[in-house]
Amino acid sequence: MIRLENLTKHFEVPGKEPIIAANNVSMEVGKGEICIFLGPSGCGKTTALKMINKLIPKTSGKIYIDGKDTDDLDAITLRREIGYVIQQIGLFPNMTIESNICVVPDLLRMDKKKSREKASELMDMVNLDPSIFLKRYPRELSGGQQQRIGVIRALAADPPVLLMDEPFGAIDPINRAVIQDEFLKMNAELGKTVLFVSHDINEAIKMGDKIAIFRDGILEQCDTPDEILSNPKNSFIKDFVGTDRALKRLTLIKVSEAVLPFLAAVKAEDSLEKAENKMRDRNVHLAVMVGPQGRARGYLTREKIKGEEGGMVGEYISPIPGTIHENDNLHDAVSQMYVHACDWLPVVDDNGTYKGFITQHIIASMLGETPRKRGDKIT
């Protein structure tokens, strides 16, 4: 979808050597992917972003969008096909939220009724009630709410590409996490190709299908978050992502991808002999007792029932330490294990149905595995 070939930018300084802001940057971002531009201040990431929509003219190199050479497009035409979001938001204070969102559709003379319907749909996507907020003015919204409007304004004309320059950097951590989640959910539905400048490695890991790390105008590494965390290309990348990069990988893996591939579930009315046989056959030391609806109700271990005869499972169960949802990530699972001082957790779905369990041992073993793309299953 977006391809950069030897993209270079020199800023001329009278009487001095030119400043090289981008030096032969080459990379490709596929359709529907989110690529995070990351690196220290002054590394060239924002310059690279702004050259894509010609806010900064390039010195040399090529930029292709959906196979088209942007040299063949004038800046105005190009920018109308690219959404752009900045940290400062830039809403027009004398216009309603609805008018702010519809600025570009109105400039493009799009159908007014359809553009207003689109504005209302986008407001719903970011959890802002259109019946309440569309007729308000920017000053009547919080900073976080204004930032959401800035994002959906860039999407109002339905551009295939979205450029975002530290869009959530000025928002407090709690609201930032909420908006990040809303954006990921929205883009999963809309499928935009996104280039996103950030300073935050955790934000990049959470949001990026790819991460492009810059230093002094050079693209040092562009790869999946898991590959960058597992195999940093050089010492700069290793230091930049942090010494806890193995733990950061835990946020990339869902519990459902790591749940152990057996369901040692028993019922209260089962005999101890049946429970013990099931645990032995499946080579596990514990079994989870489920209720009539398949929900986890307790557990028992082989050690606890060893030597017992004639009893029923319901007489020997211990309370479960807690549960973890199959859509949570392994970082959440480890946190819950420490909260409950345990080394395992039952895995449940939206209905609380028992799906299997996860252990500290399987999580630890996965940290040394070959990097995977998002969604790859553990086998």
Confidence of residue 377 (pLDDT cuts 50, 70, 90): very low
Q: For every residue of 248-312, which 3-state class applies, written as one string? A: HHHHHCEHHHCCCCCCCEECCCCEHHHHHHHHHHCCCCEEEEECCCCEEEEEEEHHHHCCCCCCE
**17 class by beta-carbon count within 10 Å (0-12 exposed, 13-18 middle, 19+ buried):** exposed
Indicate whether 370 pLDDT > 90: no
pLDDT at 375: 45
Centre a 10 Å sphere on the Cβ of residue 308 and count the other Cβ atoms it contains.
Answer: 13
pLDDT at 282: 84
Indicate whether 311 pLDDT > 60: yes
Pairing of strands 218-223, 210-215: antiparallel
**35 class by beta-carbon count within 10 Å (0-12 exposed, 13-18 middle, 19+ buried):** buried
Higher pLDDT, 378 or 299: 299
Indicate whether 371 pLDDT > 60: no
Q: Which of 70-74, 122-126, 212-216 has the highest mean pLDDT?
A: 212-216
Indicate whether 372 pLDDT > 60: no
Q: For the residues 299-309, what does the mean pLDDT come to?
A: 87
Confidence of residue 31 (pLDDT cuts 50, 70, 90): very high
Dihedral angle, C-alpha 135, 139, 143, 146, nearest 10 °: 30
The per-residue pLDDT of the chain, averaged, comes to 89
Q: For the residues 214-225, what does the mean pLDDT come to?
A: 95
- Portion of the chain with pLDDT greater than 90, in percent: 57
Indicate whether 39 pLDDT > 90: yes
pLDDT at 378: 40
Q: For the residues 171-188, what does the mean pLDDT come to?
A: 87
Location of structure tokens 């109105």: 106
- At 342-368, the pLDDT tens digits run 999 999 999 989 998 898 888 888 876
